[in-house]
Amino acid sequence: MTDGELVKLFFDRSERALEALEEKYGGLMRKLARNILRDERDAEECVSDARLALWNSIPPQKPENLMAYAARVTRNLSTKAYHRNTAQKRNSAYDAALDELAEVLPDENTPEAEALKTELAGLINRFLSEQSRENRVLFTRRYWFSDKVPDIAKRLGMTENGVYVRLSRLREKLRRYLEKEGYSL
């Protein structure tokens, strides 16, 4: 079933839309939630909340790329749940990925960072568009999907050390790119 057909089911308010969403993107949504939350029950609850959010937002939204839309909704809900669940604790895997990027990006909780969030997202997207496909996959698997380094290494046929080295070089290139574009760190 194509994304267009699936979105049409949502517009028709057919319960088949939720079944088709689960068949097509349920695994991706669960993996993303598990990568962030590291707890199966919390991840399942988050995916359930994401399905409800998609049901409530389509219509009026009509996403052209349903996979990206479902992933973004799932990631946003998972991140909120993560922050709620770990207000006083640390989730080593997700925090490790965030800590790696903290060397390059400013603290998101400052007013200045909030004001520049859209500009920064555009710069990062432009930076990634200039990278090789493998580097884009590497970067997004680690920092957007929060995949573990061993999983990335296996997916890309690399050693874990190779992944760490490439990620380090990518972060440094990103830092230099942002500075060149006038984004002060």
* Percent over 70 (pLDDT), the chain: 82
Q: Which residue has the higher pLDDT, 123 or 118?
A: 123
What predicted TM-score, i.e. pTM, was given to this entire model? 0.66
| Lookup: tokens for 76 | 């946003």
| Lookup: tokens for 63 | 């996403």
Beta carbons of 101 and 119 less than 8 angstroms apart: no
Q: What is the mean pLDDT of the chain?
A: 85
Of the candidate CATH numbers 2.130.10.10, 3.40.50.720, 1.10.10.10, 4.10.490.10, the domain formed by 92-180 belongs to: 1.10.10.10
Most confident of 8-17, 75-84, 138-147: 8-17
- The pLDDT value recorded for residue 84 is 82
Structural fold of domain 3-85: Rna Polymerase Sigma Factor; Chain: A (1.10.1740)
- Asked whether residue 97 carries a pLDDT value surpassing 70, the answer given is no
Q: At what angle do helices 117-129 and 160-180 cross, to 10 degrees?
A: 120
Q: Which residue has the higher pLDDT, 84 or 12?
A: 12
- The pLDDT value recorded for residue 122 is 81
* Percent over 90 (pLDDT), the chain: 55
- The pLDDT value recorded for residue 83 is 83
Residues 47 and 22: their CA atoms lie apart, in Å, by: 10
- Helix (H) or strand (E) holding 84, with range, is helix 66-85
* Burial class of residue 67, CB neighbours in 10 A (0-12, 13-18, 19+): middle
Residues 82 and 61: their CA atoms lie apart, in Å, by: 26
Residues 101 and 86: their CA atoms lie apart, in Å, by: 19
Mean pLDDT across 138-152:
90
- Asked whether residue 88 carries a pLDDT value surpassing 60, the answer given is no
- The pLDDT value recorded for residue 119 is 75
- Asked whether residue 133 carries a pLDDT value surpassing 60, the answer given is yes
Nearest alpha-carbon partner for 55 in 93, 5, 10: 10
Round the CA-based radius of gyration of the chain to a whole number and report it.
18
- Asked whether residue 14 carries a pLDDT value surpassing 80, the answer given is yes
- The pLDDT value recorded for residue 41 is 92
Residues 101 and 96: their CA atoms lie apart, in Å, by: 9
Extents of the domains making up the chain: 3-85, 92-180
**If pLDDT is split at 50, 70 and 90, which confidence band does 37 have?**
confident
Mean pLDDT across 67-78:
91
Contacts of 51 (CB under 8 A, 6+ apart): 18, 21, 22, 29
